Amino acid sequence: MSELHAILRRLGLDFAAGTPLPGAASDRFLPASSEVVTTEDPSTGARLADVALASSADYDALVDAARAAFPAWRDTPAPKRGALVRRLGELFREHKADLGELISLEVGKIRSEGEGEVQEMIDVCELAVGLSRQLTGLTIASERASHRMMEQWHPLGPVAIVTAFNFPMAVWAWNAALALVCGDPCVWKPSPLAPATAIALQGLCQRAMADVGASGVLNLAVGGAELGRRMAEDPRFPLVSFTGSVRAGRDVAARVAGRFGRSLLELGGNNAIIVLDDANLDLAVRAITFGAVGTAGQRCTTTRRLFVQRGVLPALLERLKRAYAKISSGDPRAPGVLLGPLVSAAAVRSFEQAVAAAVAQSGEIVTGGKVVARPGTSSSRRSCARRATIASPSRGKRPSRPSCTCSRWRASTRPSASTTR
């Protein structure tokens, strides 16, 4: 039995080995379609499983299930809706180790980050359960005697949730937990790079729904960009929550706005840290290293740029070199490893292109910047990359992730570091 199937079995999902995992589900998993996507271990490139994509008919069936569930779920008292979220949190806590291991296996996060992501799901469930008893509205004075006005918030309807690979579980939970207590069923399209994690969660969702007597409020449709575009344009979704790149977010926003729907967008970042001459360099190095190296530089909050005053730049770069030299890379589930793989071969190529572009713009590689060869992997699938610190690139286009560029400046006057934000 493969590692993936062993984890799924411990989660209560006993799929036959050698057959595609079903990628469409509501209260039950739908029969697998003929079109599949292969999910791989990014550490080695080894095939984990084939996953059947949701067909067009599957998608319509899942949206119809969410719409059919909406009237009863809307009329369910919010604290009782919170009971479903409470049960989800209990299951996540019970299976925290297995869910964290699955994240490490499929998307390459180190073990502590994988389990930390599961803890984020548990935390947001606790938050949402509390909110289920606090869905308040205003009481407003009226000019009419013996009258008052009351503000009441109503559920929107079925919500589309589209998530990215880098937080394959937590982002869904942030959306779904709050949507559920507000009375909104959910249809989730996960990243095609992380379908197994989504299937595992859907299995727990089915258990939770059965335990509290809910039906059709948590649904899963595995698919690619075309399915995401269809969800953005689907008038059956009054709200679409999308997590992904800025470019894709612009497209989603335009499609949703074109039908006067609402969108909730969590997109990419270009985050910078400013280091002034009187900064605490020990603190700065820890913050920069964590911000740049965590999740192999694949977070929207990843540190990508440093703005450093000239006076402190040599000392800071030297400390960063020493810090980076201590970072161990490799199998994300191995003890002591702090830098796991990039999620795919395409991500590795993007990394190499970014470093090359920085060098072409007169950047100097201070440390890192190379793909690491690991035993047992082919040259096309060597996915661990040494994070690069690149000093003083030109003012042109900045290299994309996962590299961290460092620009220097001289300031004759500046605010105190203690008051700078």
Q: Check 205, 300, 404, 406 and give the catalytic one.
A: 300
Q: What is the dihedral of CA 69, 74, 76, 80, to 10 degrees?
A: 90
Q: Choosing from 3, 90, 233, 266, which is the catalytic residue?
A: 266
300 noted as active-site residue: yes
Assess contact for 21 and 9: CB atoms under 8 A. no
Distance from C-alpha of 343 to C-alpha of 129, rounded to nearest angstrom: 33
How far is CA 27 from each of CA 30, 65, 207, 215, 308, rounded to the nearest angstrom? 9, 9, 9, 6, 54
Mention every residue, 6+ apart, whose C-beta is less than 8 A from residue 283.
none
Q: Assess contact for 405 and 399: CB atoms under 8 A.
A: yes
Question: What is the C-alpha separation between 53 and 57, in angstroms, rounded?
Answer: 11
Amino acid at 186: C
DSSP string, 283-306: HHHHHHHHHHHGGGG-STT-EEEE
- Residues 316/284, Cβ–Cβ less than 8 Å: yes
User: Using CA atoms, how far apart are residues 173 and 185, in angstroms rounded to an integer?
Assistant: 13
How far, in Å, CA of 376 to CA of 381, rounded? 10
DSSP at 339: B
- 39 with 193: CB under 8 angstroms? yes
List residues with catalytic annotation.
266, 300
